[in-house]
Amino acid sequence: MIRILARDLRLAVRAGGGFGLGLAFFLILTMLVPFGLGPETARLAGIAPGILWIGALLACLLSLDRIFALDREDGALDLLATAPVPLEGVALAKAGAHWLTTGLPLSFAAPGLAVLLGMPWPGHLWLCLSLLAGTPALSLIGTFGAALTVGLRRGGLLLSLLVLPLYVPTLIFGADAARRGAEGLAPGTPLMLLAALSLGCVAFLPFASAAALRVNLR
């Protein structure tokens, strides 16, 4: 599992594109918001937590179809399926690699972008924390969606249709935690629910992903 993780990380860094793309997308999306809504600081500061959460979610979504599609094309997925590691472990390692290359950098980039949107100070910490707690769930749900659509030739659009409704609870809790942090309220409850959601996803979704992979590799 560790080796699969390391291999995916190496591929993401060296094979170009995958690693920085999500961050660049996140930056551009944040830049587009003031163009769309007008540059008044007060309004931007009010919606910044929600916008940054949606941006992180879309940046995650963008890189989902890379999780299994490349391995499927060059046959590595079949080798992984016959490897001594259970397929559940493969799915978990893949999700972990996806999180390390998108969720983790996004979490640390978000406070910097929050400055651009004029978010008040204590909110930055809570935004970062809420993203750290929530993005694992995004990666795991996305891995499940990618496993479902790996057998399809043009699964990208279908993938987003399947995955986005599943993202709803994560987005609600995450944006709520960040917003409460920014407004100086106690963000503890949504943050804990968010962490619970991520842990629940770690516990259960690899099995669903592995089941979908088995069906697709049959």
Residues that bind another protein (CB under 8 A): 144, 148-149, 151-152, 155, 158, 161-162, 164-166, 168-169, 172-173, 176, 190, 193, 197, 204-205, 208, 211-212, 215-216, 218
| Alpha-carbon gap, residue 218 to 208, rounded angstroms | 16
Q: How far is the CB of 158 from another protein (least distance, A)?
A: 5
- Closer of 79 and 215 to another protein (Cβ): 215
Q: How far is the CB of 148 from another protein (least distance, A)?
A: 5
- Closer of 50 and 89 to another protein (Cβ): 50
Residue 31: how many CA atoms within 13 Å on its side-chain side? 6
Residue 89: phi and psi, rounded to 5, are -65, -40
Q: How far is the CB of 162 from another protein (least distance, A)?
A: 5
Q: How far is the CB of 103 from another protein (least distance, A)?
A: 19
* Nearest Cα to Cα of residue 72 among 98, 94, 96, 99: 94
Residue 152: phi and psi, rounded to 5, are -95, 150
* Nearest Cα to Cα of residue 100 among 207, 204, 22, 196: 22
- Closer of 12 and 150 to another protein (Cβ): 150
